[in-house]
Amino acid sequence: MTSTLHIRCGSDIRDGLVQAGIPGDFLEFSDPVCKGGTPGGDDNAFHAARLAYLTNDLGRPPAPTDTGLREALRSLEQTNDYERLVLWFEHDIYDQAVLIRLLSWFADRPELEPRLSMITVDRFPGVDRFIGLGQLAPDQLRSLWGSEQPVTRAQIALGQRAWKAFRAPEPLALFDLAAAGTPDLPFLAPALMRHLQELPWTTDGLSLTERLTLRAIAEGAETPGQCFRDLHGHLEPQPFLGDIMYWPIVAGLARGKMGAVTALETWMSPIALTSFGEDLLAGKADWVQTNGIDRWVGGVHVTPANLWRWDPARNGPTKAVT
């Protein structure tokens, strides 16, 4: 039995671990479940929703993407071959959503619990704006090795509960869990709150990411690439999106009956607010009322007939009365 398997929601630290001399194999489990549908219940419906997001929104080829999703699940079965399973996760919703999915999977395999440990951080000394473990050089990663803590039964149970709530068709259970706090997984509650803020807001029908994008343009960003830079640089309170995940969001703002930004073709396309975009940013218009909506936020399928919104006045989700 090989000694150690490092599990991460991306490949960003794979080479760094090797260069740092940290022993063990590496498993990337990286389906970005913080975006796209994660419907509860039937596994086939979940798989179909993930495939739809990855192919339709992110532009991945259907056949290999379908195969990749299935192989990723099968790869988890290989964890039984290792004495130690080390989870490397940071604080943002990208990582925390994958983490609770994994913890829910491990909840059904109690024989693996004694092998699990975790390194999870939201900052690093000397890094002014810590976004993620991928920022760290090999020597910085090496300094974290040895700080891993055993994954507790309480953490696994919380992950299982959170993943079930994440996939629920209504956001209330997830909000209640986050609002109560998650001390066993201290980064989870704020990450879930950020996730729920991707619901359309009662003030303008925009998600927080969409609003911050309009703000970036108003403050001088001239291309989608510069919008992404400004979000990661200072506007986004909890950066979690990769550039490929961000593109359909910013491009979507140019579509609809009335676009909020000028038409886009590439990352370097000139971008500007339309008059409608200016009204949205001023809180004088509502994207959903004008353009409708068909969006998944976790297990919540937001449509005009199922219009869940984020209400900043009560700092929680609310369902619009139709």
Both tokens assigned to 317? 């989700």
Fold agreement (2-176, 201-292): no
Domain range list for the chain: 2-176, 201-292
Taking a C-beta distance cutoff of 8 angstroms, is the pair 7, 27 a contact? yes
**Is the pTM higher than 0.75?**
yes
Give the pairing of strands 25-28 and 36-37: unpaired
CATH number 3.40.50 is the correct assignment for the domain at 2-176: yes
Q: Which CATH architecture does the domain made up of 201-292 adopt?
A: Orthogonal Bundle (1.10)
Question: What does each of the 322 residues of the chain score in pLDDT, given as a tens digit?
Answer: 569 999 999 999 999 999 999 999 999 999 999 999 999 988 999 999 999 999 999 999 999 999 999 999 999 999 999 999 999 999 999 999 999 999 999 999 999 999 999 999 999 999 999 999 999 999 999 999 999 999 999 999 999 999 999 999 999 999 999 999 999 999 999 999 999 999 999 999 999 999 999 999 999 999 999 999 999 999 999 999 999 999 999 999 999 999 999 999 999 999 999 999 999 999 999 999 999 999 999 999 999 999 999 999 999 999 987 5
